[in-house]
Structure 1
Amino acid sequence: MSTTTAQVPTGAPTPATGGGLLGLIRRRPILSFIVLANLMSWLAWIPYILSNHGLGIWDFTYPAGGLGGQLLGVLPGAYLGPIGSALFITAVTEGRAGVKAWAKRLWKWRVNWRWYAGILLGVPLAMIVGGYVFAEGPAYLPTAAVLVALVPGLILQMITTGLAEEPGWRDFLLPRVIRRHGPWKAAVGVGAVWAVWHFPLYLTEWGQGDVPWFRPVTLLAFCIALNVVMTWVFNRTGQSLPMAMLLHVSINNFASTAWEQMFPELTYDRAQFSLFAVSAIGAVIVLLATRGRLGYEPEKIGADDG
């Protein structure tokens, strides 16, 4: 018995992907996310870069000085980039059901209490040890006011930095790259992309003045090392996005509150070296302990989310 097979013209879009830009996004969601996340953020940061907070080409200063620059100049681009791109590409590739599943993962708080304790206590402890090693002066105990400020600062960081970045880098991009390239390669690759996303900000006050060549290189190394640890935490908690957010913002929060007061002579660059060194030690430990798997157990994660 003979059968007839329908022929699809070469180059015609398939029903599953379609043609045009949306078809390209469906066929290449990883590349599309990387390009869109960077492009959207970088475009949104142009006014901040050109303002008096950056190159000074545009004679404009955001209200409230440096804080206003962060909230009004940097944060909108952060929201448009990682989380905005993740939402858009999820909608294009997976539809309404995919968006609902993606949004549901934002609230995966139910993990073993040891993870909360490990992050909330382990991050400051590691940073204090790093500060002792790299600071060129004495250390001081933080004041009661600083300790009280840690909690509201952490909450603010969760809804700004954490919410803006982590749904994109860790929840959208990381699992997809892991499935394609494996855990440790994904951790390195996503960490590098995450670092490069920050690079235009070195043209602003965010970069702490004149930028020596090693400063962005240190950030690149730090982001890669930290992302190895974050990938392990993300996988071991059943890919809990809130735990990734908590780890990320705990570093930012402690650095911007207690760390500076405890180590007043810890310069910006030495602080960055410290963060890299501590993260690198953690990365080596989890890589060796997990033999490069970084806690990745696909059978425990559930259905493939694309």
Structure 2
Amino acid sequence: MTHVIRRHPLASFFTLAIAGSWLAWLPYALSQNGLGVWGFSFPALMGSTQLAGVLPGAYLGPIASAFVVTLIADGWPGVRQWRARLWRWRVSWRWYAVALLGAPLGLIVIGTAFSGGQVQAPSTLALAAYLPALLLQMVTTGLAEEPGWRDFALPRLQRRHSPLRASLLLGVVWGIWHLPLFLTEWGGWPAVSLLRVACFLGFCVAFSVVMTWLFNSTGESLPLAVIAHVSVNNFASIIWGDMFPTLNADVTMLAMFVAAALAGALLVVFTRGRLGRRMPAAEPALQVAVAA
């Protein structure tokens, strides 16, 4: 097993991340909070069963798999390099503004368009809960996922592929990883539709392009990737319903997919596909040869 991981670290990570999370989510999917096969329910913490049902599998998947594969493939020096990106906070305040406000502003614009201008102000309770919920999501969803997807997988994918291709490949895996959750309360089971699942997969692929641009542009700062990821989740779960009460779950997911697709397409055009990645400098010997 260790020989396979050393030879194929990226494939090993994807396999372990998906297998670990799916196995941990199986009880949640089979419980009364999902398919109803087993006669028990997960406890509701802070008004939701997701912390008890989803979070263990999330931690067992991307972050745990990234640590194990990095340790086996690259040793402790590799672990230190992987961990260093997690603490790369020293980035211009402008990027923090982009990570915190970019997705909410984009979702407000697209939500206004989809609702035909039927927009309401968010409640005082939603506004008061927004920042605490954002901090909670950073240490739950963000910490569980991004050390695997962006910190481990993305740099390795970009060594083999262009930034755009790497983003698309990672987005597909990222979306597939979530699929069992559509059989639970997380995905709206039993009222979930194929349209919602398809739009979610499309959103993951499109938003992966945005995340790659932010990760590359900030010198591979993982905290900025975490903030951008959870700002989408937080706005969608806390503010969206108050502002756009006429939009159902399927239309909401379609709107989020359209917003991510437009943002990703614009970034591809304006960065000429580089998505913030700095191209390696030419070798000195090559420069001399060209000059000669």
Compute the TM-score of the two structures, normalised by the length of structure 1: 0.88
Please, which of 32, 35, 56 is the counterpart of residue 55 of structure 1?
35
- Secondary structure (helix, strand or coil) at the match of 2:54 reads helix
- Secondary structure (helix, strand or coil) at the match of 1:45 reads helix
Counterpart-to-counterpart distance in 2, 1:122 and 1:61 = 37
> Is the contact made by 2:18 and 2:177 (CA closer than 8 Å) also made in structure 1?
yes
> Is the contact made by 1:48 and 1:74 (CA closer than 8 Å) also made in structure 2?
yes
1:128-184 Cα deviation digits (max 9, x unpaired): 111111226821111233212111111000000000000001110011011111211
Kindly report which structure 2 residues correspond to 1:263-282, keeping only aligned pairs within 5 A, or say none: 263-282=244-263
Larger Rg: 1
Kindly report which structure 2 residues correspond to 1:3-82, keeping only aligned pairs within 5 A, or say none: 21-64=1-44, 67-82=47-62
Partner of 1:14: none
Counterpart-to-counterpart distance in 1, 2:28 and 2:14 = 22
Structure 1 alignment gaps of length 5 or more = 1-20, 301-306
CA 1:50–1:137: 2 relative to 1, 3 Å: farther
Counterpart-to-counterpart distance in 2, 1:133 and 1:255 = 16
1:79-99 Cα deviation digits (max 9, x unpaired): 000000000001101112221
The alignment status of 1:227 with 2:208, answered yes or no, reads yes
- Quick one: percent identity of the two aligned structures? 52
- Secondary structure (helix, strand or coil) at the match of 2:49 reads helix
- Secondary structure (helix, strand or coil) at the match of 2:178 reads helix
The alignment status of 1:190 with 2:170, answered yes or no, reads yes
CA 1:173–1:67: 2 relative to 1, 3 Å: farther
Structure 1 position 121, deviation (Å): 2.1
Partner of 2:76: 96
Counterpart-to-counterpart distance in 2, 1:177 and 1:225 = 16
Counterpart-to-counterpart distance in 2, 1:66 and 1:120 = 24
- More deviation in 226-235 or 130-139? 130-139
> Is the contact made by 1:135 and 1:270 (CA closer than 8 Å) also made in structure 2?
no
Partner of 1:242: 223
After TM superposition, the runs of 4+ consecutive aligned structure 1 residues lying more than 4 A away are 65-68
Partner of 2:119: 139
Equivalent AA in structure 1 for residue 245 of structure 2: P
Q: CA RMSD in A?
A: 1.5
CA 1:121–1:201: 2 relative to 1, 3 Å: same
Structure 2 alignment gaps of length 5 or more = 282-292
Counterpart-to-counterpart distance in 2, 1:56 and 1:155 = 32
Equivalent AA in structure 2 for residue 270 of structure 1: V
Compute the TM-score of the two structures, normalised by the length of structure 2: 0.92
